[in-house]
Structure 1
Amino acid sequence: MRRREPLPPTLTDASFSVAEAEALGIGRKRLANQALLRPFHGVRVEAGAVNSPIAAFAPRLRTNEWFSHQSAARLWHVPLRDRERMSDAVHVTVRAPAGASRARGARGHQSAAEHPSVVRRFGLPCSDAADTWLSLAGAFSIAETCGRRGSFRARA
């Protein structure tokens, strides 16, 4: 029985794109191996290396995309209701006129803002606290949205 070739150390602790792995000399056969999880098209990860759909989606982000809505709220540690917290949908926004992300398991959005407020949280691009808070208004009642406002102050 042949032993599976281990992945390079740069690919073992996080999700990675198939293109990134191929650039490091990993063959298609190894990338198709059942030991690697496929959280999103074009993304691979070793079991247990990533515990968040947001982190798993990161290799798919284009340079002009960022995490938004409930995904950004998670990065800001805003408390979410059970159904939002348990949802695997990753919210990703891109500046218009670029097309919104259309991956299975992702909800793509477009921003008409000429200069969207994007910051980095835990090394990942996401909407700033104010834009994230405003984006939650459509998913929550006024009272719930206002109640979450303090979460940003405490963590900003």
Structure 2
Amino acid sequence: MRKRTKLPRSLTLDGFTVAEARRAGVTPRRLQSADLQAPFHGVRVAAGIPTGVRELARAYAAVMPTGHFFSHATAAQLLGMPLPRYATRDPRLHVSVIAPDRAPQGAGIAGHTVFSRPELWLIGGFTVQNPVSVWCELAPIMGLDDLIALGDHLLGVVDPPFSSEDLCTAVAERPGHRGIRRLRAALEWVRPRVESRQETRLRLLIVRAGLPEPETNVYLPLRYQRRRVRGDLVYLRYRVLVEYDGEQHRTDDVQFARDVDRLDGVMAEDWRVIRVLKETPDAEVLSRLDQALRSRGWRPGSRPT
């Protein structure tokens, strides 16, 4: 069996162009070898490397023209925005250009044209649409609650966080945008300091059931212990705390110990604590919270928090 010729060290195996390889003396036959694959026209990568969005974006970046940028679901994933599974099923990379440039075409690419230049971010070497613009562009394909969760992420997790005014301005600048009604509806529900999709879902469940809206991730003053601890969903007036325990709370021993100490301290100062797991039925959450709030003087129609 004929031994394959080694590729020049100047070629990066996570993505190089055929043109670069030919200039480096690589033959067309070598570029067709089984140890290489072509995720995009004119691009080669080492066979067997992962094919997640980050790896594909890195490979495409080898032929991505200046002025093009990653957008929509691709940008959201590169930015670490929490997307539901249905929004990531399309394996194509979303790439945008500014008119009058033509949107890119080809296998593995979903091209888009925008008519005004958005603010662009450079993340891990990738040029991407800024998170607020991404949030707006995803509105046509996202359900309302998932769009709210993304908005919560922008106000609570992105560092530094965006403000509600940032989101309002972005929506106001898109009067004829596809999904504009959903964006406007989402604005009514987006809140600051929310740290996970699960917290968003839990908050929406509570409010839509007619219970008062809690504050999100605020500090509880523990007067006797002379310290402050933060809670997920907080009713300061009624001294009721709702905590969502994600997987990390059960798999990380250090985090688990901290949570036990924190919640023991909260309950020691006469707070009612409702812990919610992924498996906890919604009806049970609402029943326990309703009972806790009523025991502290809340009645339907009374002033919340």
TM-score (ref. length: structure 2): 0.48
Separation in structure 1 between the aligned mates of residue 148 and residue 77 of structure 2, nearest angstrom = 17
Separation in structure 1 between the aligned mates of residue 158 and residue 75 of structure 2, nearest angstrom = 13
* Correspondence for 2:92 among 85, 89, 92: 89
Separation in structure 2 between the aligned mates of residue 43 and residue 152 of structure 1, nearest angstrom = 34
> What does the per-residue CA deviation read over 1:106-154, in whole Å, with 9 as the maximum and x for residues that have no partner?
11000100x3211111101110111111111111023211211233452
Q: Which residue of 2 aligns with 1:56?
A: 59
CA RMSD in angstroms, aligned pairs only? 1.7
Separation in structure 1 between the aligned mates of residue 18 and residue 50 of structure 2, nearest angstrom = 16
Cα distance 1:59–1:111, how it changes in 2: closer, same or farther (>3 A)? Answer: same
**2:104 partner letter:** S
Cα distance 1:122–1:12, how it changes in 2: closer, same or farther (>3 A)? Answer: same
Separation in structure 1 between the aligned mates of residue 63 and residue 25 of structure 2, nearest angstrom = 19
Q: Which residue of 1 aligns with 2:247?
A: none
SS of the counterpart of 1:59? coil
Long gaps (5+) in structure 2: 160-305
Higher RCO (C-alpha 8 Å, min separation 6): 1
> What does the per-residue CA deviation read over 1:43-100, in whole Å, with 9 as the maximum and x for residues that have no partner?
1100234533222322221101000000000111112222332321110000111110
**1:40 partner letter:** F
Cα distance 1:106–1:46, how it changes in 2: closer, same or farther (>3 A)? Answer: same
SS of the counterpart of 1:60? coil
Separation in structure 2 between the aligned mates of residue 112 and residue 64 of structure 1, nearest angstrom = 13
Separation in structure 1 between the aligned mates of residue 73 and residue 130 of structure 2, nearest angstrom = 12
Q: Which residue of 2 aligns with 1:35?
A: 35
Q: Which residue of 2 aligns with 1:66?
A: 69
> Does the 8 Å contact 2:70/2:95 carry over to 1?
yes
Pairing 1:149–2:143 present: no
Separation in structure 2 between the aligned mates of residue 89 and residue 51 of structure 1, nearest angstrom = 11
Q: Which residue of 2 aligns with 1:126?
A: 128
**1:122 partner letter:** G
Long gaps (5+) in structure 1: none
Q: Which residue of 2 aligns with 1:18?
A: 18
